[in-house]
Amino acid sequence: MGDAKTAVVFAGQGAQGIGMGAELAVAYPECRALFDRAGEILGYDLGALCFKGPESELIRSDRCQPAVFVVGAAACAALMKEKPGFAAEGMAGLSLGEWTALYAAGAVSFDDALRILEARGRFMQEACREHEGAMTSVIGLTPESLKPVCASAGVEMANLNSPEQTVLSGPKKGIEAAEQLAAQAGAKKVIRLNVAGAFHSSLMASAAGRLAEVLAKVPIQTPRVPVISNVTGQPHGAPDAIRQTMVKQVTSSVQWIACIQWFQSRGVTRYVECGPGRVLSGLIKRTAAASVQCNVQDKASLQKALTALG
């Protein structure tokens, strides 16, 4: 396994859970320091929220996005501490996780990424109040076969997660229509998501506009390693292009299949998922069946990852 190429990927919203990051914060001063710094910047104890909840607070987008980011950053810090000199072929993240990837690749500072995600979460939450939207996960149909469903129902593809799983997003009535049409088209499963609104759709336009104003003032560098964009499925370019693409990301489909295909084209066969849960590992397995997945979210998973990395 020593010469295998490895990509590092970062969890998105929905992966959060009470207790996330607690073991790493106890085991590694570097990790504890990230939670402490986040508390100073945000003005509340983010560590306590991650470790103890309450759930009702943790699911708020303006709390959840910084929280999942810090846990992903802490997991990455623990990995680097245990495996100095570890080099990834590239990085990516699902939605908010793309900001964690940009931070890990040196494109944006910890403090700035945290402030961006607090604002991004707040703007998205407010856009949800402006438009009553919903999201649903369709399993067992290809993105191609969902195009007529989306056109008929007036909804959009929010996440192209794997060849067999696509998340649709749009107005609540449209999503209800899309669920019926998808079932008629032969979907194996249609699952309504427990989210505040229609993320990654045109109903998030107001959030994207406000995020553009925030990003205009933030210093961004060229990433040290390729960070694959959710919007294009290709590596990010120069700082100004990163700003534009990350604004677009709020209303665009997450091209997760294309991100994994880019890694495959570069010979990546191992994926390390940093942050809470194992959602991405499951999705990657469906696009890159022959690959090896490991994750880092606590001490046990870190040890397994280190063994897998050799």
CA distances from 289 to 35, 264, 296 (A): 35, 11, 20
pLDDT attached to residue 194? 86
Alpha helices in 28-135 (DSSP H): 29-42, 46-52, 55-58, 61-82, 96-104, 110-130
Tens-digit pLDDT profile for residues 266-304? 999 999 999 999 999 999 999 999 999 999 999 999 999
Give 246's pLDDT tier (boundaries 50, 70, 90): very high
Instruction: Please check the confidence at residue 2 and state whether its pLDDT lies above 80.
Output: no
Sheet of 189-192: strand order equals 156-162, 165-171, 133-139, 189-192
pLDDT attached to residue 218? 98
Residue positions annotated with a catalytic role:
95, 200
Compute the half-sphere exposure of residue 30: CA atoms within 13 Å on the CB side of its CA. Answer: 12
Give mean pLDDT, residues 199-214.
98
What three-state secondary structure class fits 165?
A: strand
Q: Are 93 and 10 in contact (CB under 8 A)?
A: yes
Give 201's pLDDT tier (boundaries 50, 70, 90): very high
Closest to 75 (Cα-Cα) out of 275, 295, 287, 277: 275
Q: Are 274 and 76 in contact (CB under 8 A)?
A: yes
Give mean pLDDT, residues 6-28.
97
pTM of the model: 0.97
Residue with the two structure tokens 């992903």: 72
Closest to 104 (Cα-Cα) out of 301, 308, 296: 296
In this prediction, what percent of the chain has a pLDDT beyond 70? Answer: 99
- DSSP one-letter code for 252: S
**Which position has the higher pLDDT, 115 or 14?**
115
Q: Whole-angstrom Cα distance, residue 232 to residue 252?
A: 10
Going along the chain from its start, the domains and CATH numbers come out as 5-129+202-305 (3.40.366.10), 132-192 (3.30.70.250)
Give mean pLDDT, residues 201-226.
98
Q: Are 227 and 102 in contact (CB under 8 A)?
A: yes
Residue with the two structure tokens 């109903």: 203
Give mean pLDDT, residues 6-31.
97
Instruction: Please check the confidence at residue 1 and state whether its pLDDT lies above 50.
Output: no
Tens-digit pLDDT profile for residues 116-152? 999 999 999 999 999 999 999 999 999 999 999 999 9
Q: Are 275 and 75 in contact (CB under 8 A)?
A: yes
Torsion of CA 94, 100, 103, 105, to 10 degrees: -50
pLDDT attached to residue 3? 72
pLDDT attached to residue 151? 98
Tens-digit pLDDT profile for residues 59-112? 999 999 999 999 999 999 999 999 999 999 999 999 999 999 999 999 999 999
